[in-house]
């Protein structure tokens, strides 16, 4: 659905024409001082990635109307970004990497823009007053490329022989649309992607009406729940798309035509509904309006990512057999990491520790091994030198986050007891649904669930660089 165009409030900086009772010049009454306009910050201030994201506004939604030609690699179209000013703005930034902007307007009025590296600075014709809702419309295009990170790998738009895909963490979205690229600013998302007939385009959320004209097909998708920008994805190419309904909601999976129709990847995707239903018993109601999964057959993708409502899996997980545990991991993120998102990247254990523990819960549910056995296997011989609560920007995908994070979750269970623990597993995503949270928020929630102080426990598991007390 196309975002509505909101009028931009123009500040009046001078007042005239007022007179007193005697006809002399008077003073207009004013309950507020005049605005003091300033540029929004060119970063969200994350301690690990200070330049990611931007300040001065809060995005409500992205509405993209794009066209991609697999033969030329050209992407072009229009982005409507609806936001609210959180300060008096003279200008503001969006993140956009490697694509050229041809036109910008705000509320239908022309605005100017300047691109420097991956920052797009937009200057409205008049200042935007704090609290004002506005829509910036940006026409842009080019040949998107991924962003390279020596420690964390490439993220963003990757071209393929038959299409492309956009995927990556901690940044990805800025390679294919203008965005406030930090998880602290969640927003709704709508995509109309036009591709040649016979090519599939799969994205987040609920599918909309598909239309065809002149040899091109437009695929429409919408995610109505707020989403962190790195969770936005589009996968374009030759795919077998399977559509069904699960618990009254669309369940859409896609597997490349290059893989067997009934191979391990396809069979793993059929487990999506069953695994989601199991996780509901542990984490509470499923938080989104659709289910699904997409497999990518590309050696550049050696990971899976919890793209909201429709995780993407590298085929590396399905080389020889089905892999329910990776599906359990990414589906667990729909509660822990997507619905309840990070406020800062330092707290990523809140995502990965719980998703890894979901793997252990699934294995226990299937009778393969208990969560205690999974804990013992991880604990023995573990290197405790990296603290889970502050692993450093280059270790946000390391064992201190995943395995030590999962061990922390199990140790918490042993410390506060099953009744309080499983109640917490449901109350945490319910209380913070569609929002953001921090480690401090979780500690407070755990202490409420336990009815006692747990700071010593969390200090051992989050901060210490030696082995914590084994529960």
How many beta carbons lie within 10 A of that of residue 54, not counting itself?
A: 26
Residue entry with tokens 């024409």: 17
Kindly tell me the burial class for residue 246, based on how many C-beta atoms sit within 10 Å of its own C-beta (0-12, 13-18, 19 or more): middle
Phi, psi of 148 (to 5 degrees): -100, 135
Q: How far from chain centre, in Å, is Cα 330? A: 13
Q: How far apart are CA 40 and CA 60, in angstroms?
A: 17
Answer whether 83's CB lies under 8 Å from 109's CB. Answer: no
Terminal-residue alpha carbon distance, the chain: 51
Spatial distance between the Cα atoms of 30 and 15, rounded to a whole number of angstroms = 10
Bridge partners (DSSP) listed for residue 120: 94, 115
Half-sphere exposure of 12 (CA within 13 A, CB side): 6
> 464, exposed or middle or buried, with CB in 10 Å at 0-12, 13-18, 19+?
middle
216-227/57-69 β-pairing: unpaired
How far apart, in whole angstroms, are the C-alpha atoms of residue 416 and residue 117? 50
Q: Which residues contact 158 (CB under 8 A, 6 or more apart)?
A: 146, 164, 165, 166, 167, 298, 300
Q: Where are the beta strands (DSSP E) in 336-440?
A: 340-342, 435-437
* Encoded tokens for 133: 């809702």
Closest C-alpha among 102, 51, 60 to residue 81: 60
| 200, 223, 330, 343: the active-site residue | 330
CA atoms within 13 A on the CB side of 70: 20
171 is catalytic: no
* Residues belonging to the active site: 330
């Amino acid at each position: 659905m196309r975002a509505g165009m909101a009028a931009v409030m123009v500040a009046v900086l001078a007042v005239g024409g007022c007179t007193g009772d005697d006809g002399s010049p008077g003073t207009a009454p004013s309950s507020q001082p005049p605005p003091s306009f300033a540029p929004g910050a060119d970063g969200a201030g994350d301690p690990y990635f200070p330049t990611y994201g931007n300040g001065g506004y809060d995005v409500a939604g992205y509405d993209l109307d794009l066209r991609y030609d697999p033969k030329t690699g050209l992407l072009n179209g229009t982005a409507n970004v609806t936001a609210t000013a959180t300060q008096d703005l003279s200008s503001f930034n969006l993140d956009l990497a490697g694509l050229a902007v041809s036109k910008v307007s705000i509320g239908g009025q022309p605005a100017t823009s300047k691109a420097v590296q991956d920052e797009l600075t937009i200057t409205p014709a008049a200042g935007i007053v704090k609290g004002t809702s506005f829509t910036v419309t940006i026409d842009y295009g080019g040949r998107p490329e991924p962003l390279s990170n020596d420690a964390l790998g490439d993220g963003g738009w990757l071209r393929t022989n038959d299409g492309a895909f956009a995927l990556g963490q901690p940044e990805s979205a800025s390679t294919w649309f203008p965005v406030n690229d930090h998880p602290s600013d969640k927003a709704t998302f709508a995509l109309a992607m036009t591709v040649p007939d016979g090519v599939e385009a799969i994205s987040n959320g609920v599918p909309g009406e598909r239309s065809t004209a002149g040899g091109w097909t437009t695929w429409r998708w919408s995610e109505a729940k707020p989403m962190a920008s790195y969770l936005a994805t589009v996968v374009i190419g030759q795919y077998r798309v399977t559509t069904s309904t699960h618990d009254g909601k669309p369940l859409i999976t896609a597997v490349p035509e290059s893989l067997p129709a009934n191979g391990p990847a396809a069979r793993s995707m059929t487990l999506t509904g069953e695994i989601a239903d199991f996780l509901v018993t542990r984490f509470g109601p499923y938080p989104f309006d659709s289910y699904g999964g997409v497999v990518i057959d590309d050696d550049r993708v050696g990971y899976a990512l919890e793209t909201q409502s429709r995780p993407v899996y590298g085929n590396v997980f399905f080389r020889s057999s089905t892999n329910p545990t990776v599906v359990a991991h990414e589906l667990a993120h729909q509660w822990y990491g997507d619905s309840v998102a990070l406020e800062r990247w330092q707290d990523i254990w809140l995502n990965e520790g719980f998703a890894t523990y979901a793997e252990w819960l699934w294995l226990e549910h299937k009778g393969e091994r208990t969560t205690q056995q999974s804990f013992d296997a991880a604990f023995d011989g573990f290197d405790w030198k990296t603290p889970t609560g502050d692993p450093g920007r280059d270790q946000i995908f390391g064992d201190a986050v995943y395995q030590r994070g999962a061990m922390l979750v199990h140790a918490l269970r042993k410390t506060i007891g099953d009744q309080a623990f499983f109640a917490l597993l449901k109350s945490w995503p319910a209380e913070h649904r569609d929002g953001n949270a921090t480690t401090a928020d979780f500690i407070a929630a755990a202490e409420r669930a336990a009815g006692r102080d747990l700071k010593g426990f969390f200090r051992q598991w989050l901060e210490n660089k030696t082995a914590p007390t084994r529960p």
